[in-house]
Amino acid sequence: MSGQINAFEMAQKQFDGVAKLLKLDPGVAEILRWPMREYSFRIPVRLEDGSIKVFQGFRVQHNDARGPNKGGIRFHPAETMDTVRALATWMTWKCAVADIPLGGGKGGIIVDPSTLTVNEKEELCRGWVRAMWKNIGPRNDVPAPDVGTTPQMMGWMMDEYSRLVGQYTPGVFTGKPLGGGGSLGRTEATGFGVIYTVREAMKHLNMDSKKTVAAIEGFGNVAQYAAIGFIDMLGGRVACVSCWDRHEKKSFTYSRKDGVDPRFLMTIVDEYGTIDKKKAQDSGYTIEDGEAWITKEAEVLIPAAIEGHVNADTIKVMSRNVKIVAEGANGPCTPEADEHFKKNKIFNIPDFLCNAGGVTTSYFEQVQNDMNFYWPKDEVLQKLDQKMTSAFHAVLDRSEREKVYMRDAAYMVAIDRVVQAMDMRGWLTGSV
């Protein structure tokens, strides 16, 4: 991949294009293309060897016109403020396009969590909360797990916030463990949500899902359940998955002639998404370079790793069979990739629609926390299916009505809803 992708520049470029299509007032556009609030702070942690290490932390709150900010916390060695800005911005559009009453936020720490002990990770999580607790809360900003973070970490963070405010407050973080305020169905939600939108796209394109093959980038939570859902719900075959190998510091693609078995691979993957290469090879898997996933003969591509991996370089080796690109990751496809999709009539399901299942079920978790009453998994997933299907068709209808690309249509739906909320609250007519 040539060059470094700046995710926030990409997010702003996407927004600017749609703002022109909508003939958005320049002042309103300026409000929406930048986050409302940004926090940058340092977190000192005493490591188990007795030394003190200081970590850089972030939180960005993009827009809360429709409700409290919502968005994950990433622990990643290459985290930047611009990445967090982009993800917070996309979260605003994601919540709006899913039509849930939340705004966009995102957080992070520059760290490789696999280098820390359990106690060090807990102290880092609690330190992040101590830096931010006055600016988060169930009616203000509700973080969740993301890259490099887990339900257990959300449990620690929720506990630290509860200590600081003096009362049990489960609704301040979502993605928590079951029994600690978490929701059934949250683990599967993002990956299954991807598949609900793929199912609807296949109906629209008159494709027989049982005759289709998917190639998936990534093997974290989203990719795992997208693979399971593609096989179990759609009856298709998964040609490959890829994953980052934290030992060799590079990614690999895992494929098998008769299709991968995601449930088996989940038994040989560690908590950071690294597959045991030897056990995979012993079970008949072929292991190739990490970018080989995009070259596989498949009708459906599901990039579910990190931003910018479907770009001007990688589209050159993409299979000509591809009919659908379902963006399980945030910002996986660059503007150059979008132009390729348009030219070749490849149906794109944009990220903030496609992967909205996680935040939608996080919203369900908040609702259950407020009620102190928890739903069975089937009910959670049924509600999720209804929400995702409704969101998909709202975007598809806009795309066909306005004769615009699906990403542009998703932005149109989301921006209209956010601007309407801002206007209803008087943000655009009174003092700003």
pLDDT digits (tens, 9 = 90+) for 113-169: 989 999 999 999 999 999 999 999 999 999 999 888 999 999 999 999 999 999 999
Q: Are strands 141-145 and 69-76 parallel, antiparallel or unpaired?
A: parallel
Kindly report the length of the chain.
432
Q: Which CATH number characterizes residue 146's domain?
A: 3.40.50.10860
Under the phi-then-psi rule, with left for phi > 0, alpha for psi from -120 to 50, and beta for the rest, what region is 67?
left
Burial of 249 (0-12, 13-18, 19+ CB in 10 A): exposed
- In angstroms, the CA 348 to CA 255 distance is 24
Q: Tell me which residue range forms the domain holding 129.
A: 35-175
Q: Residue 307: name the closest of 328, 339, 330 by CA.
A: 330
**Among residues 329, 351, 373, which one ends one of the domains?**
351
pLDDT confidence of 58, banded at 50, 70, 90? very high
**CB of 153 closer than 8 Å to CB of 146:** no
**CB of 216 closer than 8 Å to CB of 242:** yes
Q: How many domains is the chain built from?
A: 2
- In angstroms, the CA 329 to CA 354 distance is 9
Residue 261 and residue 145 in one domain:
no
| Residue scoring higher pLDDT (1 or 207) | 207
- 73-98 b/e with 16+ CB inside 10 Å = b? bbbbeebbbbbbbbbbbbbbbbbbbb
Residue 163 and residue 206 in one domain:
no
Give per-residue pLDDT as tens, 251-289: 999 999 899 999 999 999 987 778 999 999 999 999 999
Maximum distance among all alpha carbons in the chain? 67
Residue 240 and residue 135 in one domain:
no
Using alpha carbons, list the distances in angstroms from residue 162 to 10, 53, 120.
37, 25, 20
Q: Which residues are catalytic?
A: 106
Residue 107 and residue 252 in one domain:
no
